[in-house]
């Protein structure tokens, strides 16, 4: 299945089952932020699409935003924990073993930027997959990681949903 078909199926499901919007977004954001799964699930496009449903007036922004932020933060938290517990053994685990440049890129990024790397990495697909696990491998202080993790998760979720929401409204304004 290509990304367009996947995204359309998710958006159609949320459109038909609005009560499931927040749990679906929570799961999408969790998967998008989990080190091993994020390479396989491009949830960001579905989140932008769900943002267009918010603009259409059928969905409430606040619970979807909070669900998305919590899902993203939990995905990074689990990635951090995996890195902390397994250390360098994760280098040889699938799918990271198929992408050998992700961990070294994440490592240099974390060493250069520290906790700010968690915030910045949230907004970059390849870094989003590796930075939290690298922070765990190198035992970044837990509360420093969590502060950057939760802060960036709320900003990231709001940004993606707002892109869809505002983009949809701009299109309606341009083409009434």
> Whose CA is closest to 107, among 86, 97, 93, 121?
121
Residue 51: left (phi > 0), alpha (psi -120 to 50), or beta? alpha
Query: What's the pLDDT score for residue 105?
Result: 78
| Cα separation, 83 vs 138, whole angstroms | 8
The pLDDT of residue 24:
96
Radius of gyration of the chain (CA): 17
pLDDT of residue 119: 92
pTM (predicted TM-score): 0.88
Burial of 68-82, coded b for 16+ CB within 10 Å and e otherwise, reads bbbbbbbbbbbbbeb
Cβ atoms 4, 22 nearer than 8 A: no
Residues of the chain with pLDDT under 50: none
The per-residue pLDDT for 125 is 74
First to last CA, the chain: 33
Residue in 130, 173, 157, 175 with CA at minimum distance from that of residue 27: 157
Sign of CA dihedral 125, 131, 136, 141: negative
The secondary structure of 101-154 as a DSSP string is THHHHHHHHHHHHTTHHHHHHTTSHHHHHHHHHHHHHTT--HHHHHHHHHHHHH
- For 137-164, the pLDDT digits (tens) are 989 999 999 999 999 999 999 999 888 8
Domain boundaries, the chain: 3-174
């Amino acid at each position: 299945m290509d990304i367009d078909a996947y995204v359309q199926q998710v958006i159609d499901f949320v459109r038909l089952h609005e009560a499931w919007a927040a749990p679906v977004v929570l799961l999408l954001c969790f998967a998008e932020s989990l080190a091993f799964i994020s390479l396989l699930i491009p949830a960001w496009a579905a989140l932008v699409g769900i943002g267009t449903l918010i603009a259409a007036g059928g969905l409430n922004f606040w619970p979807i935003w909070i669900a998305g932020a919590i899902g993203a933060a939990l995905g990074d938290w689990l990635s951090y924990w995996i890195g902390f517990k397994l250390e360098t053994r994760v280098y040889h685990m699938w799918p990271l073993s198929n992408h050998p440049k992700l961990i070294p890129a994440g490592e240099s990024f974390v060493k250069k930027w520290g906790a700010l790397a968690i915030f910045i990495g949230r907004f970059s697909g390849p870094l989003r997959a590796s930075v939290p696990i690298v922070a765990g491998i190198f035992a970044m202080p837990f509360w420093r990681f969590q502060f950057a993790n939760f802060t960036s998760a709320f900003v990231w979720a709001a940004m993606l949903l707002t892109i869809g929401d505002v983009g949809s409204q701009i299109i309606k304004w341009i083409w009434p």
